[in-house]
Amino acid sequence: MSNVRLPFAAMLAALLAGLVLALAGCNRAHKVTVVETVEETPDKTGIPIAINMGDPKQEKQLVSGFYAIEAKSWRWTAKDFTVSLRPPAGSAAQGATLIFALSIPQVTVDKLKSVTLSASINGTALAPETYAHDGQYEYKRDVPPDALKGGAVRVAFHLDKSMPPSGGDARELGVVARTIGLESK
């Protein structure tokens, strides 16, 4: 066997050095380090970046094409409907995502077979989508930065078909809207 001896002093020194360095170089406080967060800035325009159809306080953002609140949570739309939204912070540089939460009722499918929804923001057209079955959907589209300049943008929606007035209901009915909003990327 080789006559190598354990460098006890070196090992002990390494362990002690680690402990001393740790004791000397580190924060003894129990508190964790904190990192800055991005906080909300007061919105001078008062315009939200998203609209909950069940909230009567946000009615002023519904420019046209919406009917009264139903079941405290949704509204019927007409064939064409428009909202006003505030672009999220940073979206003028990075763009944003338009998210429209909607429902297609069975009655719509029964009467129209399918409906195609399209939208435009400040004149920039977004790709359409066709719904042929009842259910809940999200119409989700990326919006380029150029379409999101300024303190507010108009989002115009269009349906290729709608249910005409019938029976005692004089309304032209499109889809069931739940929320419409812009989400930052």
Name the residue nearer to another protein (CB basis): 91 or 162.
Answer: 91
Closest separation between CB of residue 114 and another protein, Å?
A: 26
Which of 9, 25, 68, 71 lies at the binding interface for another protein (CB under 8 A)? 25
* Closest residue by Cα to residue 147 from 99, 110, 185, 93: 93
Closest separation between CB of residue 160 and another protein, Å?
A: 27
**Window 42 to 101, contacts with another protein (CB under 8 A):** 43, 48-52, 54-55, 58, 73, 88, 101
Closest separation between CB of residue 113 and another protein, Å?
A: 28
Q: Identify residue 82 by its one-letter amino acid code.
A: T
* Closest residue by Cα to residue 177 from 112, 127, 119: 119
Q: Where are the beta strands (DSSP E) in 71-134?
A: 74-85, 96-104, 115-121, 124-131
Name the residue nearer to another protein (CB basis): 19 or 125.
Answer: 19
Q: Which residue has the tokens 């989400």?
A: 183
